[in-house]
Structure 1
Amino acid sequence: MTRLEQIYQEKVSPELLKEYGYSSPMQIPRLEKISLNIGLGEGSQNQKIIDDAVAELTSLSAQKAVVTRAKKSIASFKLREGMPIGCRVTLRHERMWDFLDKLVNFALPRVRDFRGVPDRGFDGRGNFTLGIKELTIFPELEIDKVEFVKGLNVTIVTSATTDKEGKTLLTLLGMPFRK
């Protein structure tokens, strides 16, 4: 059991049960998965960018990233069906808890002029999406070896039914939301 998962079991879960008064412990919101996505439009022209993104995403997630491909051809973007346009990975269980711990405690504090995460990223069902402009905030990546600055979309999927429950869950897990 990871450190953050243990905190969830011992502190967060009872706190949520007390605050929202659930009738069953199965109603307590929990993390289901974390999805990481890098979109690279220029990757259709340059395969090296895609390969670098896959290697970087694999090193930070500890799981092999999958190349995403275009579903439709778009002539104005010089894009054909099946061309590589990004990469993604879905984390569950232990890797999910490790990544969230790393994101909250190591990566986000390394962001320049960090004032907290905006809470606009909730989707109405308790899931949260966060955009990161530079992957270099993660300690696994060596800044010298990164040729192209890439961004990252992090989607945290919870079992919460409302945004308020989802925000409470993530706040108790240590996500630094803006005041």
Structure 2
Amino acid sequence: MTGMQELYVDKIVVHMSVGEGGDKLMKAEALMKEICGGATSVRTIARRTVPAFGLRKGQSMGCKLTLRGDKAEEFLRTSLNIIEKKIDASRFDTNGNFGFGIEEHTDFPGQSYDPQIGIYGMDINVVIEKKGVRIARRSAQKKKLPSKQHVRKNEAISFMKEHFNVEVVE
């Protein structure tokens, strides 16, 4: 594949939920900033009240951030090493995007367990695209994206196998 058909990692969204605001959330934000190379995170807000989890609508409950470019690829390589470069095929959606989880932040290089902080897990969502997708998103002269520019599940799987040496388990 060359030119406009070439796949690339557009962005990676990293999400960490702590279930409550306050000091615990501030520690999670600092931890995420350290792991993701200084990127600043945005707080996530509960959309509805869930008494079983002690959540109220409008309460801060986690944080997320978006990585793009070289930082995104570097973070993805590190994250894939943590899960031993194995991803289940069911993790890929029909648009070629995929996600996986990391159970403990202490698995990242340079991180150690601190009883003051605790252990946090995180969700990592990867968006894979082809060049030229901007025509469907721009405000001026917006056009429909041609079907050949859509990323398919099998294309994304082969991209991950080739560029990141990932083993996709069926």
* TM-score category of the 2 structures, normalised to the smaller one: 0.7 to 0.9
Higher strand share: 2
Counterpart position of 2:162: 172
Secondary structure of 2:30's counterpart equals: helix
Structure 2 residue identity aligned to 1:100: L
The alpha-carbon deviation at position 121 of structure 1 amounts to 0.6
Q: TM-score, normalised by structure 1?
A: 0.72
Structure 1 residue identity aligned to 2:34: S
Higher helix share: 1
Counterpart position of 2:103: 133
CA contact (8 A) 1:119 1:177 kept: no
Counterpart position of 1:65: 41
The alpha-carbon deviation at position 177 of structure 1 amounts to 2.1
Q: Return the match for 2:124 from 133, 148, 154.
A: 154
Is it true that 1:39 corresponds to 2:14 in the alignment?
no
Counterpart position of 2:145: none
Q: Return the match for 1:94 from 62, 70, 73.
A: 70
Structure 2 residue identity aligned to 1:54: E
- In the alignment of these two chains, the number of paired residues is 148
CA contact (8 A) 1:61 1:99 kept: yes
Counterpart position of 2:29: 54
Root mean square deviation, CA, Å: 2.2
CA contact (8 A) 1:70 1:82 kept: yes
Q: 1:65-105 CA deviation, whole Å, 9 max, x = no partner?
A: 22111233344544323211111010011211221222234
Q: Return the match for 1:119 from 89, 101, 106.
A: 89
Structure 1 residue identity aligned to 2:60: P
Secondary structure of 1:140's counterpart equals: coil
CA contact (8 A) 1:104 1:175 kept: no
- Describe the shift of the 1:76–1:138 C-alpha distance in structure 2 as closer, same or farther (beyond 3 A): closer
CA contact (8 A) 2:101 2:123 kept: yes
CA contact (8 A) 2:45 2:60 kept: yes
Structure 1 Cα separation of the partners of residues 116 and 101 of structure 2? 19
Structure 1 Cα separation of the partners of residues 62 and 128 of structure 2? 24
Structure 1 stretch displaced more, 26-35 or 79-88: 79-88
Q: TM-score, normalised by structure 2?
A: 0.76
Structure 2 residue identity aligned to 1:33: K
